[in-house]
Amino acid sequence: MAGSGEDWLGDGLDVVGADCGLWVPGVDYMAGWRGARESADRLNRALLGAGFDLSEVRAVASTDESGRGLVRMAGWPGTVDRLAGLLESVAGRDGGAA
């Protein structure tokens, strides 16, 4: 990963239309990003509540080329493995229902 320390987690965070590289005139990227930002904030609060450090794993708001909101996860592999274990544990208790 480029950079040192935890700076890589900040790279590309909250970038509107970052995936396509081009801005399409007339596409409302901000509306999609705002919705994605609300969802990312909710997930980040849940991660904090579960004891995760947002410098190690976090939800990131963005949009696709059509302006639809996207939420991505960015994190260190070990922390993502810990999150996956937690989710697997919850899925096992609930019979796999989400």
- pLDDT tens-place string over residues 82-97: 999 999 999 987 666 5
pTM for the structure as a whole: 0.69
DSSP alpha helices (H): ranges in the chain? Answer: 29-49, 77-93
Instruction: Express each pLDDT in 31-67 by its tens digit.
Output: 999 999 999 999 999 999 999 999 999 999 999 888 8
Q: Are 78 and 64 in contact, with CB atoms under 8 Å apart?
A: no
pLDDT of residue 13: 46
